[in-house]
Amino acid sequence: MTLTVYPYECDAYGHLNEAAYLLLFERARWETIARGPGMHFFRKQGVWPAVRHATIDYKLPAFPGDVVDIHTDLVKLGNTSMELRQRMERPSDNTVLAEAHLVFVMIDNTGNPTAVPDEIQSLFGSRVSTRSGEVVRYDVGEVTLGVDIRGDGPALLFIHGFPLDRTIWKHQVSTLSGWRRIAPDLRGLGTSDVAKNYSMAAYADDMVRLLDRLRVQKAVVAGLSMGGYIAFEMVRRYKDRISGLILCDTKAEADSPEGKRGREEMIKLVESKGTAAIADQMISKVLGKTTLQINAPLVQQVREMMTKASPEGIAGALRAMRDREDSTPLLKTIDVPTLVVVGSEDELTPPPVAKAMASAIPGASMTTIPTAGHISPLESSTAVSRVFSEFLESLG
Ligand code: MLT
């Protein structure tokens, strides 16, 4: 929203008055509503937004006659509350003048909290994350998830692996235009809340509640490794929400008794020595030998991703994977277009495992990505994005 600073909004020294910054932010919000559904929008819905909390950072002065751009982004959407971030910029000298953060509670005419109207999402642009890699926070019931959302079109949900976060998909999320790309951090990982409960069912519930919040009926679901286990849980319980599957560096089998013992050891490790010890143990397993040899920045990036995960989230994910069901019997029941992708150097779910899985899924196709390990979308990002794009195009 572009607004002009009026002389009467300025103080005796000729600067925009501090309270007037807040008024300009408010004017920008109302202008958005006035130019959209109209000023009576809230009254017609029988709700009113009450500001519960406001913070503002003043960065630079504005002066009479300045033309300012005000960007308003929905950064968190709860059942009865929402959070907006607003930024005032002066395009003439490319500066940021102020930033504000506001928490609103929707109240009805008795003063009690009530549901946020649906249209808020489209009004304040939550369909698209504000800047590359930034997250919008969505309350999905038990937890709030940080989600990177870009573009418009049919929905494509990206579910990351363990102990990683949404950024493993950053190339696909940036490039697969024509799709509404939705990349959440799983509970306990990345920017999402740490939760009490962890299970494949809880992760799948989070994904479906997120789709509900975004009003997405069906999505193509891409899952990497543990994300694949979650995609299988969605096939088991929410089949009607899936229009296609991309199974990346994953497998259908449950943990073997030895695998379960390995999970126990890792739980003890993260609880006693922290996330850096997990990163030390996992880094050479998850990345392919080529990446380890030639791509030191990516090795560092993945190490940091693992180290900054929460210990509770890591232990929770290990318990959820230890206890997951065998999804092999599900494979023959999958009746949506399916692509299996695997890195040629993936040692955790190697190409023969991917091949067996692909051949058990009716009509599935499979692609092996040369010189990539277990995180192929990050290790060979361009090749994986191209393979995804061809598959998505084939869906029509
Ligand atoms: C993952 O990448 O999500 C993990 O390797 C999965 C697992 O440990 O089974």
Mind listing the domains of the chain with CATH numbers?
Answer: 1-129 (3.10.129.10), 133-396 (3.40.50.1820)
Q: Work out the angle at residue 198's Cα, subtended by the Cα atoms of residues 192 and 199, and round it to the nearest 5 degrees.
A: 125
- CA 228 from centre of chain: 16
Residue minimizing CA distance to atom 9 of ligand 1 = 226
Which of 232, 348, 357, 376 most suits a substitution to test ligand 1, by most atoms within 8 Å of the C-beta? 348
CA of 286 to the centre of ligand 1 (A): 8
CA of 244 to the centre of ligand 1 (A): 22
Radius of gyration of the chain (CA): 23
Name the nearest CA neighbour of 167 among 134, 125, 212. 134
Q: Is 126 in the pocket of ligand 1 (CB under 6 A)?
A: no
Q: Is 225 in the pocket of ligand 1 (CB under 6 A)?
A: yes
pLDDT value for 83? 92
pLDDT value for 130? 46
Which of 321, 357, 379 most suits a substitution to test ligand 1, by most atoms within 8 Å of the C-beta? 321
Which of 165, 185, 225 most suits a substitution to test ligand 1, by most atoms within 8 Å of the C-beta? 225
pTM above 0.85, yes or no: no
Run of H or E residues at 65: none
CA of 226 to the centre of ligand 1 (A): 5
Tokens 């990050």 correspond to 378
pLDDT value for 21? 97
pLDDT tens for the chain, 396 residues: list them.
Answer: 899 999 999 998 899 999 999 999 999 999 888 887 888 888 888 899 999 999 999 999 999 999 999 988 888 888 899 999 999 999 888 899 999 999 999 999 899 999 888 778 767 755 445 455 678 888 898 999 999 988 888 999 999 999 999 999 999 998 898 899 999 999 999 999 999 999 999 999 999 999 998 889 999 999 999 999 999 999 999 999 999 999 999 999 999 999 999 999 999 999 999 999 999 999 999 999 999 999 999 999 999 999 999 999 999 999 999 999 999 999 999 999 999 999 999 999 999 999 999 999 999 999 999 999 999 999 999 999 999 999 999 997
pLDDT value for 131? 52
pLDDT value for 127? 47
pLDDT value for 41? 86
pLDDT value for 124? 77
Q: At what angle do helices 257-273 and 311-322 cross, to 10 degrees?
A: 170
